[in-house]
Structure 1
């Protein structure tokens, strides 16, 4: 994985290359029924974590056990962040991800804006750049904790950051 920043008429490398993991099914057409990382160019507009904000300028929320990412295809809240106490949510919690209980992988994370505007139920949800567990993901991109922190500190909403996911 690499990070680049626009510089005049070109681009300059900011970070990497560094090792990263992707979905166990590779990169391509994502869906709820695969562990595939979506291919394409996606905005990075929101960040979160179980740990304290490391200094990102992007919108950030602290993930507690009442923070969920909805993967319930029958819910109008599909592929959105919702806050509700366990057992009180208006979606199928078994088809959601409790961000606060997910472990160290969500200490620091960046939301990948795949299938968010508009949302297509079943096309895939909960795609993040997050701290690695050392294994392939269910569709997210993961890398070392220090790299995720460096990316969070570098991100600037005024620069309209994006992630390009594909195969060279």
Structure 2
């Protein structure tokens, strides 16, 4: 005579990430046993353990101090990695939080300030401020290309003249995302309020690259600025983490 038993095991294994929680996974297995022959064990057969989930991945290049500075509710991070403390060259990568950790996109070539980076940015020092800053507002000279951030279109984004290498600046501010350094979030990037004082500079943006160093901003190609505007979502509380590689790794 053959006996049949059905065993159902439910395994709830939350995937914990900073500020996020995973769902539950259910597995169902069926086993059938025959009446044991004389002298054989009657212990139930062992069932295979479920395959482990991939370990959550962090953000490459960011050390514990920088990772700790990213707000727990943040779901999007723009990482700006400078070549060196005094270099105007950098790369930009957009990371998004997923169920398995941070997933990064392509690395975009970019420029930062002429003299590199500063941990105490001051007006006119031609250095970009090191730090982790929220991204709250956008704007530009041209019409909104589909920005999720509040978008402020204005003729005030006109950018005449030439850059440090003689390159034309026209079109640099066609699209911008304000970096919340020494500014009031929730206002146009053109707002000149300076909570830290005028001497600490301001008007630090992500904007269209003009082919040379900036005064303090970070610039990427026009197509990448459009990508950022269409992807950065205020509901995901985006931030930028910016600095030269050695500083970011701390």
TM class by smaller structure: 0.7 to 0.9
Kept in 1, the 8 Å contact 2:134–2:238? The answer is yes
The 1-side partners of 2:115 and 2:209 are apart by: 17
Determine which structure has greater relative contact order: mean sequence separation of CA pairs < 8 Å that are 6+ residues apart, divided by chain length: 1
Secondary structure, in 3 states, of the residue corresponding to 1:2? strand
Deviation at 1:167, TM superposition (A): 1.6
What is residue 83 of structure 1 aligned with on the other side?
none
Distance 1:101 1:22, change over 3 A: closer
What is residue 241 of structure 2 aligned with on the other side?
164
> What RMSD in Å do the two structures reach over aligned CA positions?
1.4
Q: Which runs of 5+ in 1 are unaligned?
A: 68-98
Q: Which runs of 5+ in 2 are unaligned?
A: 1-91, 161-169, 185-194, 246-250
Deviation at 1:162, TM superposition (A): 0.4
Query: Between Structure 1 and Structure 2, how many residues are aligned?
Result: 134
Distance 1:26 1:101, change over 3 A: closer
Structure 1 residue aligned with 2:217, among 135, 140, 162?
Answer: 140
What is residue 104 of structure 1 aligned with on the other side?
171
Kept in 2, the 8 Å contact 1:27–1:165? The answer is no
TM-score of the two chains, using structure 1 as the length reference: 0.75
TM-score of the two chains, using structure 2 as the length reference: 0.51
Where has structure 1 moved over 6 Å in runs of 4 or more? none
Larger radius of gyration: 2
Structure 1 residue aligned with 2:144, among 53, 56, 76?
Answer: 53
Deviation at 1:127, TM superposition (A): 0.4
The 1-side partners of 2:151 and 2:122 are apart by: 26
Kept in 2, the 8 Å contact 1:114–1:127? The answer is yes
